Amino acid sequence: MARIVRFQHFCFAAIANNPAGLEASGHALAGEMREAESILAFGQTEKAHRHIDALDGFRGAAAMMVLFYHFGLNAKDMGLGGLLVSAAGAGWTGVDMFFALSGFLITGILYDTKASDGYFSHFYMRRCLRIFPLYFGAIIVVEAIGLLSPAFLNWDGRHPWWLPLFATNFVYAQQGGAVTGVMTHYWTLAIEEQFYLLWPLLVWFCDRRRLMAIAAAMIGAALALRIAMTLYQVHGEAIFSLTPTRMDSLAWGALAALVVRGNLAKAGHRARIPMLLSAAGLIAVIAWRQTASPFDPLMQTAGYSLLGCLYASAIVASLSAGVLRAIFLQPWLRWLGKYSFGIYVWHPIIGSMIFYGPHPPVARGAAGALLIFAGVGFLDLLVAWLSYHYWENPFLLLKKYFPELGSRRALSEPDVARDQRPGEVG
């Protein structure tokens, strides 16, 4: 395990070799920038955090992996097998993609706006407007279906208290999926909300260097805790779903956000090193253990750390011109990214009703199975699209009353092309 810790420190050093800050006035910015290979622009604008197109594709890839994973589980329950079904077993890592991306984006927003008025109130109001409508809307739908026709969801709402309190991960860790049922996937949302109860305060209170140290410490602490829990034979669901044991992917993303605010061009190039090493490490773990299960002891210790490093590094690498960026800029992936929250929330509910309801589909050969999953996948996307445009978006429009204002340079992607050393913050 000591080698794992040393490898983790190597990844951190490779990304964070230049920990300079990112604060400069808009006047100093003019005339300093020159076009080159890097794909992010830094600009002082009224809105402190602008859109980065490639990260939509990254989010879409995460949603696709989670959907693929659950389709694989459904296929196994239907008695299907094969290479595609086996490959779907690695799709659970999409949640770590979501964690790393969340840590990257939210930390960036918080850091860029920390000097603004309404720092806390605007952040939490925007967070509520994004999360609460869909989160609680889906709970209401599930409760209604469970009340009117429980056979469709195998859900009777006997333990509803943990849903509104964002405590699904605690119940899942203690009692397993038999209790959390069709809402088990809410464990990831619980982790994020628990993480962001404290993290904005730390960002507001600490400077960039100290924040990077805290993020690195969180990464190490999560690994150490997982090792201890594994040695004490704590059951895998607890290690898999508790915030202290899974906070490292969020912390990796946070660390990446802070690193690129030191020297974006160098970070983009150097991110390829930990990304490739982490990928190689994960391949070695899977090959050695002959499984990609999230509950395998080696995966739950070294594997989770490698996943966080891999995906945070991939985020940074995708901000520079290259193959990875080209992949994440694909329109279909970016489309999936736009509706990824709805896809994530609705697809297990829809899948439960279809595959485990009173009349589950029966696959007649591989072609029949593909048609079934294509149809269910289309339904998942349709519901996510409808949910976004007719339920979530009216709430999202209210964000204009809580703008992201700040004095720091914000990451953006209006076009292409700067390769320079941004201004520093002490």
Name the least confident of 33-37, 55-59, 340-344, 398-402.
33-37
How far does CA 256 lie from the centroid of its chain? 13
pLDDT value, residue 409: 52
Here the tokens at position 261 are: 């605010």
**Which of 281, 220, 215, 222 is CA-nearest to residue 253?**
215
Span 291-303, mean pLDDT?
Answer: 97
Which tens digits make up the pLDDT trace of 27-63? 333 333 332 333 333 333 334 446 899 999 999 999 9
Mean predicted lDDT score pLDDT of the chain: 85
- pLDDT tens figures, 160-195: 789 999 999 999 999 888 888 899 999 999 999 999
Q: What are phi and psi of 230, to 5 degrees?
A: -65, -45
Is the Cβ–Cβ distance between 218 and 251 less than 8 Å?
Answer: yes
Amino acid sitting at position 207: D
Q: What mean pLDDT comes out for the span 344-367?
A: 91
Say what the pLDDT of residue 152 is.
77
pLDDT at 293: 96
Q: Which two tokens stand for residue 184?
A: 């088990």
- Note the pLDDT tens digit of each residue in 130-171: 999 999 999 999 999 888 887 777 776 666 789 999 999 999
Provide CB contacts within 8 A for 261, sequence distance 6+.
Answer: 21, 22, 108, 111, 208, 408, 409, 411, 422
From the CA atom positions of the chain, what is the Rg in Å? 21
Yes or no: say if 23 and 409 are a contact pair by the CB < 8 Å rule.
Answer: yes
**Identity of the highest mean pLDDT range in 137-146, 193-202, 314-323:** 193-202
pLDDT tens digits for 208-230?
A: 999 999 999 999 999 999 999 99
